[in-house]
Amino acid sequence: MMSCAYGFLFTESSPTLASLAFIAGVTAVAAAINSVAGGGRILTFSALAAILPADPSRLVIANATSTIGLWPGTLSAAWEYRHERTGQPKWSLWLLLPSVAGSVLGTLLVLVLPTTYFDSIVPLLIFLAATLFAVQPYLSKHLSKKVDGKEPHSTEHPKTKTLLLAATLQFFMGMYGGYFGAGNGILMLAVLGGLGLGDTHRLNGFKNLLAMVISACAALTFMLTSFTSSPIVAWPEVGIMAIAAIIGGLVGGRLARQYHPNTIRKCIAVIGYGLAGYYFLT
């Protein structure tokens, strides 16, 4: 059925210049949002779902296409934030492995589970993430005192149990990122900030690296699946999205660093609540 749907996509209803221009604009905005906070995938996913031909497999194709098309944006955002990762503590590398494992597992779940299973809890996840990030300064201060007594713990040498907790949570965030990922950047910033592992700009740079890794694993899994079984990727849209995502990721990263961390935090919270409201309403 999925193969038939893909064939229909490029025979009877090939993408028009208007639809490609539309998805390019949406992708640029989504990539810019992802570089600041996360949640841009809901925009591209919704746009693709609106322009792809009506078919039971349309949402799966939109999800896979959105994941692959947005990945270059996470790469450009990670590059734009490379200076914020200068001198990144060695412990941060321990979060890469759970990100990879979680992303691959989450992507595979897309292929075997109905989307309704996970979509039903997305609004709550994003709402809680936005709330957590909004109160991050207070939560970080509280956790720091609770873990180490009177003095905040060092981001260079955090406690082992803090790292284990961060790695465990990162695995689940990687899984969510591979499955769908809307608002995943907000989740990562909320968790890393809540554990007191760095300031907003530094964590945003590290978050973009983690997001790039998660998206790369998901995109690669989708591509391999598309080549070895029923096609689930709309390649013309992927091409135009990749170019727009690179531009959006670079522009968004540069704009983000021009604002005070508190301003970024407020914007991220607003984006998160907006995404949660969208999900609740739809």
pLDDT higher than 50, residue 149: no
Q: 143 or 211: whose pLDDT is higher?
A: 211
Confidence of residue 92 (pLDDT cuts 50, 70, 90): confident
- pLDDT value, residue 138: 67
Q: How far is the C-alpha of 48 from the C-alpha of 26, rounded, in Å?
A: 10
Q: 185 or 235: whose pLDDT is higher?
A: 235
Exposure string over 192-220, b if 16+ CB within 10 A, otherwise e: bbbbbbbebbbbbbbbbbbbbbbbbbbbb
pLDDT digits (tens, 9 = 90+) for 204-234: 778 888 989 999 999 999 988 877 666 788 8
Residue with tokens 């590290």: 206
Least reliable range by pLDDT among 24-33, 63-72, 142-151: 142-151
pLDDT higher than 50, residue 265: yes
Confidence of residue 91 (pLDDT cuts 50, 70, 90): confident
pLDDT, mean of residues 76-92: 74
Give the highest mean pLDDT range of 97-111, 124-138, 262-276.
97-111
Confidence of residue 104 (pLDDT cuts 50, 70, 90): very high
- pLDDT value, residue 122: 72
Collapsed DSSP state (helix, strand, coil) of residue 257: coil
Q: How far is the C-alpha of 81 from the C-alpha of 215, rounded, in Å?
A: 17
At 235, list the tokens. Answer: 């390649």
Collapsed DSSP state (helix, strand, coil) of residue 259: coil
Least reliable range by pLDDT among 24-33, 140-149, 223-232, 269-278: 140-149
pLDDT higher than 80, residue 100: yes
- pLDDT value, residue 65: 94
- pLDDT value, residue 9: 39
- In sign, the C-alpha dihedral spanning 246, 271, 56, 177 is positive
Helical segments of 52-159, H only:
58-80, 96-112, 115-119, 122-134, 136-148
pLDDT higher than 60, residue 132: yes
Share of the chain above pLDDT 70, in %: 76
Sequence-distant (6+) residues with CB within 8 A of 27 are 44, 47, 69, 70, 73, 240, 241, 244, 245, 248
Exposure string over 129-164, b if 16+ CB within 10 A, otherwise e: bbebbbebeebbeebbeebeeeeebebeebeeebbe
pLDDT, mean of residues 182-202: 77
The distance in angstroms from the start CA to the end CA of the chain is 26
Confidence of residue 257 (pLDDT cuts 50, 70, 90): low
- pLDDT value, residue 273: 86
Share of the chain above pLDDT 90, in %: 24
